[in-house]
Chains A and B, each alone.
Chain A
Amino acid sequence: MTIPMYVSPEQFMKDRADYARKGIARGRSVVVLSCREGILFVAENPSSSLHKVSEIYDRIGFAAVGKYTEFEHLRVAGIRYADLRGYSYDRSDVTARALANAYAQTLGQVFTTESKPYEVEITVAQVGPDPAADQLYRLTYDGSVSDEPGLVAMGGAAEGVAAALADGFDPTAPLDVALRRAVAGLARAGGRELGAADLEVALLDRARPRRAFRRIPGPEVETHLAAADGSGTTPTDQEG
């Protein structure tokens, strides 16, 4: 009689977590941060059609890194969840917190019961009337959820990007300053130059009345990035 193989729960979870982390670390990074005008999403994403950043509902946006098919499933499910909830109750009853909880449950279930965990990390953000009222929820592959104060970095070089941005982070900075800092952080951690064509940028605009999400097109991104050259101080210079 063969002895059944025993794997301790600790080891089982650790293996799965390692697997998911490795998958996520291969991808490029995304930064979500509060600024004066709203919540800014900056993704290093050379594709103009496969998005890493998306509108979910009126004041709620979504950003993800990892395996595209997996986070695309989650994105669509989030939109369906939000639209169903808003239609059944009222538009004001759709909140990022409830959506983050639903995502957390789903990711947790998949992590423990499916044959493999999702190799994704996502951020759900809800824009408020001022930066202090913004809500950013970061969700990892195992379903753990954390409430971040104004700044989330995810993906391959997330730790490096987060460290670079957290230093002197100002959630009330104007849009162009926040964008330049985010791009500089992504570029430094990734070890490559980033132009408007390598970026996917979107804003949850505080000033817009209902649907706050708007994509910022390449030329506009270029203008914001170029503004730094004129003033002679790039974010990199400021940080020495």
Chain B
Amino acid sequence: MGDLRSLTHGAGGSSFTELLRQQAPHLLPGAALGESAVAGAPELPHGTTIVALTCADGVVMAGDRRATMGNVIASRDMEKVYAADDYSVVGIAGTAGIAVELVRLLQVELEHYEKIEGTLLSLEGKANRLSAMIRGNLGNAFRGLSVLPVLAGYDLTARQGRVFSYDLAGGCYEEAAHHSIGSGAFFARGALKKLWRPALAPEDAVRVAVEALYDAADDDSATGGPDLGRQIWPTCAVVTADCTRFVPAPDLERIVTDLVAARRDNPGGAR
């Protein structure tokens, strides 16, 4: 890459993914698996439950920390919620290796666009770029190496938080209020349905997200519950008009401790 002229011309425009496809296609997420990957998935770590919900000032996304490989816990402190940029977050469920690569590519993709164009992509633009990346992984998905993310962000034009879900073919769907993905999603969704209210204050939304994860962990063995012994808390991100910020550990500890105490002898969690 001594001479930059190969990079000054040619297609790609402001898309980093297109540039990567031209210059180093082997670095695309999951590309190294090639056609030789056999049908029937090998055992690889999987990320599990993520919840996302809108709140008064934007959106909240939270994820448990467990990665499983079959019946084995592969990791107790895996991060599954990432800042995509200053105004959006992405959560991942599915084959961890490919999902993490996908997030890295999305982060560079958004930053690359911002630097070259001198302006941010719209939230729909970000959602559509992620769509294309999932579509690119369709071949791997059929071999059992699927990745299903959820994207949430603050829409600077509409001045509100929005949540986008995906299917394996890259279909992108906007969710009205809340959404959950991963193996514990059924249980988390039930909890969200009962606990979510319009225009929740961000701190209340964080509490609801943690409670939904608690319910998911209660019934899904692949979702990690609160680990008070090891002091491992769910990852929790809040996106507002100002920025994307992660809830600090002491705050999460307080929320989790209160929640566990409230649920003692009261598995329904009624308050």
Q: Which residues of A are at the interface with B, using a C-beta cutoff of 8 A?
A: 49, 51, 54-56, 73-74, 76-81, 83-88, 101-103, 105-106, 109-110, 211
Contact between A105 and B112 (Cβ–Cβ < 8 Å)? no
In Å, the complex CA distance between A81 and B24 comes to 12
Is B1 an interface position by the 8 A CB rule?
yes
Residues 236-263 (chain B) with a chain A CB within 8 angstroms: none
Query: Interface size (B, Cβ < 8 Å)?
Result: 23
Note all chain A residues with C-beta closer than 8 A to B16: 83, 87
The distance from the CB of A101 to the nearest CB of chain B, in whole angstroms, is: 8
Q: Which residue of chain B has its CB nearest to the CB of A82?
A: B115
Contact between B4 and A84 (Cβ–Cβ < 8 Å)? no
Cβ contact of B20, chosen from A77, A87, A102, cutoff 8 A: A87
Q: Is the interface of B mostly helix, strand, loop or mixed?
A: helix
The distance from the CB of B10 to the nearest CB of chain A, in whole angstroms, is: 10
Q: How many residue pairs, one in A and one in B, have C-beta atoms under 8 Å apart?
A: 66
Contact between B3 and A81 (Cβ–Cβ < 8 Å)? no
The distance from the CB of A93 to the nearest CB of chain B, in whole angstroms, is: 13
Report, nearest first, the 9 A-B pairs whose CB atoms are least far apart: A77-B4, A77-B7, A106-B4, A77-B8, A80-B7, A73-B8, A105-B2, A79-B115, A83-B112
Q: Which of B34-42, B61-69, B92-100, B103-111 contacts A (4 or more CB under 8 A)?
A: B103-111
Note all chain B residues with C-beta closer than 8 A to A102: 1-4
The distance from the CB of A85 to the nearest CB of chain B, in whole angstroms, is: 7
Given A51-B118, A84-B23, A211-B111, 17 other A-B residues pairs in contact with their CB atoms under 8 A = A56-B115, A74-B8, A77-B4, A77-B7, A79-B112, A79-B115, A80-B7, A80-B19, A83-B19, A84-B1, A84-B7, A87-B16, A87-B20, A87-B27, A87-B105, A87-B108, A102-B3
Contact between B23 and A78 (Cβ–Cβ < 8 Å)? no
Q: How does the 8 Å CB contact mask read for B103-134 relative to A, with 1 for contact and 0 for none?
A: 01100100110011010000000000000000
The distance from the CB of B32 to the nearest CB of chain A, in whole angstroms, is: 13
Contact between A86 and B7 (Cβ–Cβ < 8 Å)? no
Note all chain A residues with C-beta closer than 8 A to B9: 73
Note all chain A residues with C-beta closer than 8 A to B27: 87-88
Cβ contact of B104, chosen from A77, A87, A106, A109, cutoff 8 A: A87
Is B5 an interface position by the 8 A CB rule?
yes
Instruction: Report 17 cross-chain contacts, Cβ distance below 8 Å, ordered by A residue.
Output: A54-B118, A55-B115, A74-B8, A77-B8, A79-B112, A80-B7, A81-B4, A81-B7, A84-B19, A87-B104, A88-B24, A102-B2, A103-B4, A105-B3, A105-B4, A106-B4, A109-B5
Cβ contact of B24, chosen from A56, A84, A106, cutoff 8 A: A84
Contact between B8 and A109 (Cβ–Cβ < 8 Å)? no
Q: Which residue of chain A has its CB nearest to the CB of B101?
A: A87
Q: Which residue of chain A has its CB nearest to the CB of B5?
A: A106
Note all chain A residues with C-beta closer than 8 A to B104: 87
Cβ contact of A79, chosen from B1, B20, B116, cutoff 8 A: B116
Contact between A109 and B7 (Cβ–Cβ < 8 Å)? no
In Å, the complex CA distance between A56 and B111 comes to 10
The distance from the CB of A238 to the nearest CB of chain B, in whole angstroms, is: 36
Q: Which residue of chain B has its CB nearest to the CB of A215?
A: B118
Contact between B1 and A77 (Cβ–Cβ < 8 Å)? no
Q: Which residue of chain B has its CB nearest to the CB of A62?
A: B115
In Å, the complex CA distance between A73 and B3 comes to 13
Q: Which residue of chain B has its CB nearest to the CB of A99?
A: B4
